[in-house]
Amino acid sequence: MRSVVITGVGCVTPAGIGAEGLWAGLQARRSPIGAVTRFDAEPFRTRIAAEVRDFHPQDHMPRKSAKRFDRFSQYGVAAARLAVTDAGLVPEREDRDRIGVSMGSALGGIAYAEQEFPGFLAEGIRSVNPSLALAVFGGAVSCNIAIEHGFTGPNSTNAMSCASGTIAVGEGFRAIRSGQADIMLAGGSEAPLAPLCFGAFALIRAMSTRNEDPGTACRPFDEARDGFVMGEGAAVLVLEERGRAEARGAKIYAEVLGYALTNDAHHMTAPKPDGREAARAMDLALRDAGASPQDVSYVNAHGSSTPLNDSTETRAIKRVFGDHAYRLMVSGTKAYYGHSLGAVGAIEAAVCALAMARRWLPPTINLAKPDPACDLDYLANEGRDADPELVMSNSFGFGGINASLVLKRA
- Active-site annotation, residues: 162, 302, 339
d(CA 251, CA 255): 11
d(CA 399, CA 268): 4
Give the CB-side neighbour count of residue 378, counting CA atoms within 13 A: 30
**Exposed e or buried b for every residue in 176-191, given b needs 16+ CB within 10 A?**
bbeeebbbbbbbbbbb
d(CA 88, CA 251): 9
DSSP state letter for 364: B
What does the angle CA 229 – CA 332 – CA 242 come to, to the nearest 5 degrees? 115
Residue 74 neighbours by CB under 8 Å, 6+ apart: 55, 57, 60, 61, 66, 191
166 three-state secondary structure: helix
Q: What DSSP element (H or E) covers 283?
A: helix 276-289
Q: Which of 219, 226, 230, 217 is nearest to 381 (CA)?
A: 219
Using CA atoms of 272, 278, 197, 214 in order, give the dihedral in degrees to the nearest 10.
100
d(CA 132, CA 65): 14
The answer to whether 94 and 117 are in contact (CB under 8 A) is no
Q: How many CB atoms lie within 10 A of CB 151?
A: 25
Q: What DSSP element (H or E) covers 393?
A: strand 390-397
Residue 350, Ramachandran bin (φ over 0: left; ψ between -120 and 50: alpha; else beta)? alpha
Which pairing describes strands 183-190 and 99-104: parallel, antiparallel, or unpaired?
parallel
